[in-house]
Structure 1
Amino acid sequence: MVRNRTTPYLYLLPAFLVYGLFLLYPVARTAQFSLFDWPGFGPSTFVGFENYADLLEDGRFITAIGNALYLILFYSVLPLLVGLVLAATLRRGQVRGMGIYRVLIFLPQVIALVVVAVAWRQIYTPNGTLNQLLGLVGIETDTGWLGVPELALSAVGIIGFWLETGLVMLLLLAGMNRIPNDLYEATRLDGAGPISEFFAVTLPSVRGEIVTSMVLTIIAALKTFDLVYMTTSGGPGTATTVPSYEVYNRAFQLKEVGSASAVAIVLTVLVFVINIFVTRIGEERKVTR
């Protein structure tokens, strides 16, 4: 009996060791560093929760959190809305070459973000593709979209929207393809049109895929770093700085490892809380229904 009870845990032990070594241990060490004033080398000074208290009065950090939350609109909300429309259209219509469409829409996910950032940075330059296209429709401008504080964050967000829409659409389309055709036929017999059919059958049936896509895209929005680093480096000023970039900036540029660790821990907690909230809402609506 003892052997039978312990056998499942023995199978789980290797995975748990890997998980603990490469995730739990680094998080614990980061939390430890956040309690010290340390430049990354030499002696350190224990300061307790002073680094966290300083963040509450740090305008740059507060701006970074606000920017990250704003990016959720482009990374998660807009891709979800557009993805629902595209997936429902492809599911309902008889589209030839469906595999080709899926590959093209998902393509941004398989391209290295460094390549994506460099390409879009060229698009946004004063003589880039975007301004040239605007010129073709009679809008002459030489705006450097990533250099204008009021526009830079939205410009970065549009890149995130382009990146995430394909992933969200494919997740939703996979869920819609599992819906039995009998449900659609029943609603049509009741006289439901395409819009009523969407809200009565399609939307409730893909609630799990909606929650999954929101969790994935919200995480992507909150932890984005390489895209910001390669396009704007957090500028102009603090217009596009985000928590992940602040971790890099404080640790490697300002040599404030303790403060950087505190930012990392706060970001981890923020990601965890928001995604628990999204998951719980999805589960409660499912139970209610």
Structure 2
Amino acid sequence: MTESTAPRRGAARAASRRGTLVGWALLAPALAAYIGFVVVPFGMGIQYSFYDWNGVGVATWVGFENYAKVFTDATLLASIGNAFVLIIYFTIIPVGTGLILASLIRSMRAGAFSTISQAVLFLPQIIPLAAAGIAWSWMYAQTGTINQILGWVGLGGLARPWLADYGTALPAVGLIGSWVLTGLCTVLLLTGIGKIETSLYEAIRLDGAGWWREFFTITLPGLRQEIAVLVTITVIAALSSFDIIYTSTQGGPGRATLVPGISIFRIGFTQSDVGLASAFGIVLMVIVLAVVLPIQRLSRSSR
């Protein structure tokens, strides 16, 4: 090492250290907020789950008793089952519909129409979920818009209070989620289609392929990563749903639309059983991870 290069390397190391310190200084507020609002409450939730506590009085250690209640209580198990049913409406329908809409919008090759359709489809995503739940509960009422439309087209015999009927309440709530999430799926998939090489479409058209063959041969494989992201987002939305259901049915009628989010709210704030609510929240987190992590692993392995 020459005398001229040694000071330069020392200055470079000093500059690197200063850059690291500046980076940590900029990161510190965000890290402190994350620890204060995520890590600490999460740790407290785990702690509370091992106690019988009403949130005010003295807490009593009960070990895994709260977790045993989660897996033996029929009402709590039913709410988990309803959450998995909602995956059909929050994930399968929006992603499937989004794939078809995105492919059709792209095939039309109309710039203005594409922009307007994306804006219209994405609009439900920016509406507060509580407001969406209230608006749809009006539409689902006995004298609401949906029953009026059925009467206009001669299907008045099908009219019913959709959210008050045990057989239709959960599908009706699920369709609200489908309406909210379809726009997000369509816009993200359209963005993904824009990244696919146009030469692939041109080549398959030269072979005389139609829309269906083009969709399954080029579009669907090219959107594998976008689909994995959307499935992850929508599955989490289904399993942790709260806003739409609370504002539209509050888990009724009976337990027809009861989901874990509503159950945790009732147990913690109505029944004042903080320990059981915390245990159910931890179980819900584990269920979400157990469903989402394999999806992420499959998406990475397919790259």
Provide the TM-score with structure 2 as the length reference.
Answer: 0.90
- Please give the alpha-carbon distance, in whole angstroms, between the structure 2 residues aligned to 1:197 and 1:2: 56
| Cα deviation digits, residues 190-224 of structure 1 (max 9, x gap) | 33222111111111111111011111111111111
Which letter maps to 1:50? E
- Matching of residues 1-289 of structure 1 within 5 Å: 4=16, 7=20, 10=24, 12-95=27-110, 96-141=112-157, 142-286=159-303
Q: Residue 128 and residue 20 in structure 1: after superposition, are their counterparts in 2 closer, same or farther (change >3 A)?
A: same
> Where do 5+ consecutive residues of structure 2 fail to align?
1-12
1:56 Cα deviation from its structure 2 partner: 1.2
- Please give the alpha-carbon distance, in whole angstroms, between the structure 2 residues aligned to 1:98 and 1:282: 28
- Please give the alpha-carbon distance, in whole angstroms, between the structure 1 residues aligned to 2:129 and 2:216: 35
3-state secondary structure, aligned to 1:150: coil
- Please give the alpha-carbon distance, in whole angstroms, between the structure 1 residues aligned to 2:295 and 2:68: 28
1:12 Cα deviation from its structure 2 partner: 4.5
Question: May I ask how many residue pairs the two structures share in their alignment?
Answer: 286
- Please give the alpha-carbon distance, in whole angstroms, between the structure 1 residues aligned to 2:15 and 2:69: 52
Q: Which residue of 1 aligns with 2:5?
A: none
- Please give the alpha-carbon distance, in whole angstroms, between the structure 1 residues aligned to 2:51 and 2:207: 67
- Please give the alpha-carbon distance, in whole angstroms, between the structure 2 residues aligned to 1:13 and 1:212: 29
Identity %: 42
1:60 Cα deviation from its structure 2 partner: 0.6
- Please give the alpha-carbon distance, in whole angstroms, between the structure 1 residues aligned to 2:176 and 2:30: 35
> Where do 5+ consecutive residues of structure 1 fail to align?
none
Which letter maps to 1:258? G
Higher CA-based Rg: 2
Q: Which residue of 1 aligns with 2:3?
A: none
1:258 Cα deviation from its structure 2 partner: 0.5
CA contact (8 A) 2:106 2:114 kept: no
Which letter maps to 1:43? V
Provide the TM-score with structure 1 as the length reference.
Answer: 0.94
- Please give the alpha-carbon distance, in whole angstroms, between the structure 2 residues aligned to 1:15 and 1:210: 30
- Please give the alpha-carbon distance, in whole angstroms, between the structure 2 residues aligned to 1:157 and 1:59: 22
- Please give the alpha-carbon distance, in whole angstroms, between the structure 2 residues aligned to 1:3 and 1:253: 57
- Please give the alpha-carbon distance, in whole angstroms, between the structure 2 residues aligned to 1:263 and 1:282: 29
- Please give the alpha-carbon distance, in whole angstroms, between the structure 1 residues aligned to 2:232 and 2:38: 19
| Cα deviation digits, residues 231-275 of structure 1 (max 9, x gap) | 111111111010011110000111111000011111111112211
3-state secondary structure, aligned to 1:261: helix
CA RMSD for the aligned pairs? 1.7
